[in-house]
Structure 1
Amino acid sequence: MKVNVIGVPLNLGCDREGVEKAPNHLRERGLMDIIRRHGHRAFDLGNLYVPTVSKEDKFARSKSMKYLDAIVEVNNNLAELVYDTLRGGAFPLVVGGDHSLGLGSASGVGKCYDDFGIIWLDAHGDINTNETSPSGNIHGMPLSALMGMGSEELVNVYAPGNKVHPENVFLVGTRSLDEGELELINRERLSIYPMEVIRREGMAFVADDIRRKLKARKIRNVHFSIDVDSIDPTYAPGTGTRVPEGLTPDEFKDFVDRILATNLIKSMDLVELNPELDLHEATTNLCLDIIDYMAERI
């Protein structure tokens, strides 16, 4: 298979430095070689341009969303690149950068496939809006915008309106949700598999339940968005939004393995690795493992 690797050195969504270094950090540790050794034709499309914005101007465009114009620009460009990759018959692997880039990558997928779903593996819901976010950090808003909720600027990235139906969104590994996010989950009846469900039922149950729902809804194309903060910070310290009591590395790999085995995954994000926080490169090595899993199974 042809695999296009797209680097997005974006830190404006999380408003913290370090995460923008992840794409080059992983390249230097053999990202492309890992993909190619599984027989794929892998192409490094380089890093997407990210505008420079001073911290003093973070609220210049919006009082409730930081760095809005720059993030919209990056996501529009990313969406076009992901769309072109899919139209060319290749698999887009988007390496971040913070999770606000998920808005662009999934928007590109949504233009290519009418019947697509999203699996969002994350400690957080990322379904705040400009009205509910306590921080104004846009990396906490991309999934709500993809479902057509929140500010028009985010909802209308790349194409007007929602990109995915809420019933085709699956939140996995969540354990830190804001009040507004809980309200949205209940209102939209989102499929959510928080850590208490994973601990009680196991990863096999979660993966099987998602697969069953996808089959029932005749969804044949899935965007898999992976945030490394889904892993417990004991094992993955290299991320800026650590939440305790997360996945073990074995649970993390087991879930990724089971989801990739469905053969429904058509695109993937890997986000929120911050090399500056990564003690002994433990998180880096987990990211490389996941890329290896992906390359072996697609």
Structure 2
Amino acid sequence: MSTLLVPYHLDEAMPELPEREAGRVVEARWQPGEFWQRVAPLHQAVAEVVAGTEKPVVLAGDCTVALGVVAGLQRMGVQPTVLWVDAHGDLHTPESSTSGYAGGMPLRMLLGDGDSTVADKIGLRPVPADRVVLVGARDLDPPEAEYLATSPVTTSRVEDIGVPEGPIYLHIDLDVIDATQVPGLRYPAGQGPTQQAVREAASRVLDTGRVQALTLVCSWRPGEGAADAVRPLIDALAS
């Protein structure tokens, strides 16, 4: 599996991504304008690299990278089921979010809702809701819970992760791990699975050979030891 490094948290450089041999780095070329217009070239670049890479492992600083990854897979003719492993829902829209935090919106954007600036720019098509599984989410805001109550999106515990038919996009935000095991998380959530539980669940999916792309999101603050704490897990999953 080839490694792709996207060393940014939204539009800020994030130097503390775990380095891997032969990793290709996607450089940002920010565009003037509102946030999504500004970052669209980065997601375009991610899509281009993913479309030309067989089964990439993508290391990134936030979950919005999934927009470019899925667009890249779609350019290859792959229509994956999305396994979204995250302590949070990432299901907000600009209207439902009280903070406006863009990192809380990418899964909803993959579903075709919210701001369409990036999707229009990179040719991202909506993923059908019945082909999305939200795994390990335990810190949901009320609008996200309300959305899930009526959506075909299914949910699962990490320990109970299922393996869907067909091609798979496996997206893992490492904040799904219990916060006691990953220091410095930007949005820590307690009462989560251990690193070992996440490794075992992800391995069951990866062992199918049908994972077309794996994203590992390093959603922590630099300089607090998280990279060293999760390096063995990243090495195991990305090998």
TM-score (norm 2): 0.89
Cα distance 1:273–1:145, how it changes in 2: closer, same or farther (>3 A)? Answer: closer
Secondary structure of the 1:234 match is helix
Q: Distance in 2 between matches of 1:156 and 1:284?
A: 37
The aligned residue for residue 143 of structure 1 is: 107
Shift of 1:275: 5.5
Matched, 1:292 2:230: no
Alpha-carbon displacement from aligned partner over 1:73-122 (angstroms, at most 9, x marks no partner): 2112211111121xxxx221111111111111122112223431111110
SS, match of residue 24 in structure 2: strand
Instruction: Pick one of 136, 148, 157 that aligns with 1:185.
Output: 148
Structure 1: runs of 5+ lacking an equivalent: 33-42, 54-59, 62-66
Aligned to 2:190: 244
Alignment match, 1:10:
8
The structure-2 alpha-carbon separation of the partners of 1:176 and 1:157, relative to structure 1 and needing over 3 Å to count, comes to farther
CA distances 1:184-206 after superposition (whole Å, capped 9, x unpaired): 21222211125xxx5xxxx2xx2
Which of 80, 88, 91 does residue 48 from structure 2 map onto?
80
Find the aligned partners of 2:138 and 2:236 in 1 and give their Cα distance: 27
Q: Distance in 1 between matches of 2:112 and 2:58?
A: 22
Aligned length: 239
**Is residue 35 of structure 2 the alignment partner of residue 71 of structure 1?**
no
Shift of residue 160, structure 1, vs aligned partner: 5.3
Larger Rg: 1
Aligned runs of 1:258-277 on 2, under 5 Å?
258-274=204-220, 276-277=222-223
What is the match of residue 136 of structure 2? Answer: 173
Following superposition, the deviation at residue 289 of structure 1 comes to 2.3
1:22 and 2:4 correspond: no
> Secondary structure of the equivalent of 1:72?
helix
Query: Post-superposition shift, 1:157?
Result: 4.3
Aligned to 1:276, what secondary structure does the other structure show?
A: coil
Higher-helix-fraction structure: 1
| Pairing 1:44–2:23 present | yes
Give the Å deviation of 1:273. 4.0
Counterpart in 2 of 1:129? 93
| 1:20 and 1:98 in contact (8 A); partners too | no
Q: 1:52 to 1:237 in 2, by over 3 A?
A: farther
State the partner residue of 1:36: none
- Tell me, yes or no, if the aligned pair for 2:43 and 2:65 is still in contact at 8 Å: yes
Which segments of structure 1 move beyond 6 Å, counting only runs of 4 or more? Answer: none
- TM superposition score normalised by structure 1: 0.73
Shift of 1:52: 8.6
**Cα displacement (A) at 1:154:** 3.8
5+ residue gaps, structure 2, are none
- AA aligned opposite 1:97: G
